[in-house]
């Protein structure tokens, strides 16, 4: 029997990248999966590809989160694994950050993640698993991440608090912090193919393992944390970055 047979998993932002890879892994291991995303057609396409249920939902909207919870309750009643993966990033110098950019990142990355879990809480089975997707930018102090980094660091802090608060219900809460991972976000940077290759090469040289990670590798970590194999793990932060954070000064 697979690890998630007869289990219900919800993945926000599951139509691409790490969310998509994780949702597919859940399906392959027997789970019934719900994915969300803001782009209706992208969600529909991804859901059909991996045989999941797709629901259009914006994590930055509390009304959308309420509707999502209502639909999942109607479909399945309860949830065993919740992967709060949806997030956005705008990488700009501190003195150029606008209020709209600040609000958008905080509303989706932190506020949206916070209330997604709060509103799903009545649906979570005893012994359920919650995993937040954060980033190594919660630690690194990388230039141009003055909003993105704190939005992820807040999620790491929330993980520790909620792991303690939800322990009486045996609900485990962990957070995964990826470093450089090859996803579709690279194609949204507006660079030429040559520019993308140069950027990738430069990033690879900073990673001790000399390569970029894959969404599938992050998915394996998330599904492990969501399974009974990790039944004694809660409140933990897992960095998956090929060692890039080991020596940021001299790397």
CATH number of the domain enclosing 56: 3.40.50.720
pTM for the predicted model, two decimal places: 0.92
Catalytic position from the list 76, 148, 164, 238: 148
Task: Answer with the residue of higher pLDDT: 89 or 63.
Answer: 63
Mean pLDDT of 10-19: 97
Q: 211: which DSSP letter?
A: S
Asked whether residue 96 is domain-assigned, the answer is yes
**CB neighbour class for 21 (10 Å; exposed up to 12, middle 13-18, buried from 19):** buried
Asked whether residue 201 is domain-assigned, the answer is yes
Q: 92: which DSSP letter?
A: -
Q: What is the pLDDT of residue 184?
A: 62
Question: Could you tell me what percent of the chain has a pLDDT over 90?
Answer: 79
Asked whether residue 52 is domain-assigned, the answer is yes
- φ and ψ of 78, to 5 deg: -135, 165
As for how many domains the chain has, the answer is 1
What angle (nearest 5°) sits at the alpha carbon of residue 164, between those of residues 162 and 167?
Answer: 100
Asked whether residue 3 is domain-assigned, the answer is no
Indicate if 148 belongs to the active site: yes
Domain housing 124: 8-239
In the structure, how many helices (H) and strands (E) does the chain have? 9, 9
Mean pLDDT of 174-183: 92
Secondary structure (DSSP) of 36-48: EES-HHHHHHHHH
């Amino acid at each position: 029997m697979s690890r998630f047979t007869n289990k219900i998993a919800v993945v926000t932002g599951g139509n691409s990248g790490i969310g998509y890879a994780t949702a597919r892994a859940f399906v392959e291991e027997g789970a019934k999966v719900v994915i969300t995303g803001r782009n209706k057609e992208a969600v529909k396409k991804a859901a059909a590809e991996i045989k999941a249920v797709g629901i259009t939902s914006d994590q930055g909207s509390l009304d959308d989160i309420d509707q999502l919870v209502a639909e999942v309750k109607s479909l399945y009643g309860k949830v065993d694994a919740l992967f709060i993966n949806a997030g956005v990033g705008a990488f700009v110098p501190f003195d150029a950050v606008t209020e709209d950019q600040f609000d958008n990142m905080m509303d989706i990355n932190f506020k949206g993640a916070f209330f997604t879990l709060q509103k799903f809480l009545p649906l979570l089975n005893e012994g359920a698993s919650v995993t937040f997707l954060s980033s190594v930018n919660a630690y690194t102090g990388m230039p141009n991440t003055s909003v993105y980094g704190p939005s992820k660091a807040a999620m790491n802090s929330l993980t520790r608090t909620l792991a303690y608060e939800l322990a009486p219900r045996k609900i485990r809460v962990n957070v995964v912090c990826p470093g450089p991972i090859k996803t579709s976000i690279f194609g949204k940077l507006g660079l030429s193919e040559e520019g993308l290759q140069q950027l990738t090469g430069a990033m690879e040289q900073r990673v001790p393992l000399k390569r970029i990670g894959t969404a599938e590798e992050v998915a394996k970590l998330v599904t492990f944390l969501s399974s009974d194999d990790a039944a004694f793990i809660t409140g933990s932060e897992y960095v998956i970055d090929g060692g890039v954070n080991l020596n940021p000064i001299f790397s």
